[in-house]
């Protein structure tokens, strides 16, 4: 032991590279090990460059088109400036091809194919505006318009006009369902449809929290909210499709109110809903009061002040007050999605008070 009784007696430190007397012959000098700079973690190898995608040649509406392999027919149409209608498609979600308004005719295919998910193939002959395509799109829009309130779905209303869809062709709408009745319909338990009226999904609006409302009279069952709440963004899985056929509807687990569900109020479902079925309560209340005026609104881009992630925000302002908040789809930080704070935590801006005189 040393004189202070604390440290072990060691032979004096030799010069670097020279072994201590106590170290076995041939051993790597301890000083070398101690003085060597720590090994830096090796960087992960750079990902291999994306292989250039082979070009595919196909025909769209009689025009020869060349597009990278793996593209969808919708992408090929858009590259040609062909305005293809979509309702369930969104760039930042996985295509589920359920709304069927983007269908096109492919020579040799028995049925019309959804352009949003069908990949291009060499030699494909695609028709986007044939009688068959227009007829199918018109019929789908008539089904939707006869059973769903599309009054806050500008794109659907535009398609109805474009394809001359007669949303009244199935007669007057059937009576609305009382609150909660559609939520109780059992899968596989079918009811006879009305014979002198058009079936409707009309029902009272669900207002069960202060942040957003669910008006399933306006739901076209596009699945976008389910995808945004699930694997495509939030991974919370608070909502899903329940029921079958005309009874199918978006539901929380066991149809519980939103505050009793797994919902974390990120509002990403509102951000993707194409019909206004899911809506900020602020917007819902202003519409009810007759004060909602999109033409009087301005948009200010900013960064969320709550944390260091730096989410891009679009503040929608009317009468000098923030009325809703969205995030751009092409933001590399958010992909259009936010959390509860960025989406709904804007009241403090209005509540600051007059400030110093
Ligand atoms: S607010 Fe977020 S967590 Fe709640 S249902 Fe919508 S996407 Fe899911
Ligand atoms: S609530 Fe909106 S996003 Fe969800 S399925 Fe219905 S229309 Fe689509």
Q: pLDDT by residue (tens digit) across 184-232?
A: 998 888 778 888 999 999 999 999 999 999 999 999 999 999 999 999 9
Q: Residues near 349 by Cβ (< 8 Å), separated by ≥ 6?
A: 322
Q: How far apart are CA 246 and CA 81, in angstroms?
A: 35
Which residues, given as ranges, of the chain have pLDDT below 50?
1-10
Mutational pocket test of ligand 2: of 89, 201, 230, 277, the residue with most ligand atoms within 8 Å of the beta carbon:
277
**Topology annotation, domain 53-173:** Ubiquitin-like (UB roll) (3.10.20)
Boundaries of every domain in the chain: 53-173, 201-350
**pLDDT at position 6, please?**
40
**Which ligand sits closest to the CA of 98?**
2
Residue owning the nearest CA to atom 2 of ligand 1:
266
How far does residue 256's CA lie from ligand 1's centre (Å)?
A: 14
**Which ligand sits closest to the CA of 249?**
2
**Which ligand sits closest to the CA of 340?**
1
**pLDDT at position 193, please?**
83
Ligand 2 neighbours (beta carbon < 6 A): 219-225, 250, 272-275, 277-278
**Topology annotation, domain 201-350:** Alpha-Beta Plaits (3.30.70)
**pLDDT at position 207, please?**
98
Residue owning the nearest CA to atom 8 of ligand 1:
229
Q: How far is CA 70 from CA 265, 319, 335, in A?
A: 35, 47, 22
**pLDDT at position 65, please?**
97
How far does residue 328's CA lie from ligand 1's centre (Å)?
A: 18
226-254 burial string, b = 16+ CB within 10 Å, else e? bbbbbebbbebebbeebbeebbbbbbbee
Sign for the pseudo-dihedral over CA of 230, 235, 238, 243: positive
- Find, among 177, 78, 93, 84, the residue nearest to 136 by Cα: 84
How far does residue 313's CA lie from ligand 1's centre (Å)?
A: 18
How far does residue 357's CA lie from ligand 2's centre (Å)?
A: 48
How far does residue 259's CA lie from ligand 1's centre (Å)?
A: 11
Q: pLDDT by residue (tens digit) across 107-153?
A: 999 999 999 999 999 999 999 999 999 999 999 999 999 999 999 99
Q: Residues near 246 by Cβ (< 8 Å), separated by ≥ 6?
A: 147, 193, 199
**pLDDT at position 47, please?**
75
pTM of the complete model: 0.84
Sign for the pseudo-dihedral over CA of 258, 261, 263, 265: positive
**Which ligand sits closest to the CA of 264?**
1
**pLDDT at position 36, please?**
60
Are both 53-173 and 201-350 of the same fold? no
Angle, vertex CA 113, rays to CA 112 and CA 114, nearest 5: 130
What is the position in ligand 2's atom list of the atom closest to the CA of 273? 3
């Amino acid at each position: 032991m040393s004189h202070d009784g604390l440290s072990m007696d060691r032979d004096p430190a030799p010069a670097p590279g020279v072994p201590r007397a106590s170290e076995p012959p041939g051993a790597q000098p301890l000083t070398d090990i101690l003085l060597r700079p720590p090994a830096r973690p090796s960087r992960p190898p750079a990902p291999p460059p994306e292989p250039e995608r082979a070009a595919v040649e196909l025909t769209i509406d009689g025009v020869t088109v060349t597009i990278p392999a793996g593209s969808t027919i919708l992408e090929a149409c858009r590259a040609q400036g062909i305005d293809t209608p979509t309702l369930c498609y969104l760039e930042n979600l996985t295509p589920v091809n359920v709304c069927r308004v983007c269908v096109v005719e492919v020579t040799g295919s028995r049925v019309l194919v959804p352009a949003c998910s069908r990949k291009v193939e060499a030699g494909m002959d695609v028709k986007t505006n044939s009688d068959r395509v227009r007829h199918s799109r018109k019929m789908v829009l008539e089904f939707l318009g006869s059973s769903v309130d599309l009054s806050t779905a500008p794109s659907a209303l535009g398609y109805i006009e474009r394809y001359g869809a007669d949303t009244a062709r199935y007669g007057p709408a059937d009576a609305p369902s009382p609150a909660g009745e559609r939520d109780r319909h059992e899968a596989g338990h079918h009811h006879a449809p009305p014979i002198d009226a058009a079936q409707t999904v009309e029902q009272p609006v669900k207002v069960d929290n202060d942040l957003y409302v669910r008006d399933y009279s306006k739901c076209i069952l596009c699945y976008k909210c389910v995808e945004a709440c699930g694997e495509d963004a939030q991974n919370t899985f608070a909502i899903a499709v329940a029921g079958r056929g005309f009874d199918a509807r978006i539901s929380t687990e066991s149809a519980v109110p939103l505050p009793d569900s797994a919902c974390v109020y990120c509002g990403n479902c509102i951000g993707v809903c194409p019909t206004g079925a899911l809506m900020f309560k602020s917007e819902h209340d202003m519409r009810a009061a007759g004060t909602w005026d999109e033409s009087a609104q301005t948009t200010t881009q900013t960064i969320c002040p709550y944390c260091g992630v730096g989410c891009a925000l679009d503040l929608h302002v009317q009468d000098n007050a923030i009325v809703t908040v969205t995030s751009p789809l092409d933001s590399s930080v958010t992909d259009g999605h936010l959390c509860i704070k960025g989406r709904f935590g804007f009241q403090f801006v209005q509540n600051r008070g007059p400030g110093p005189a």
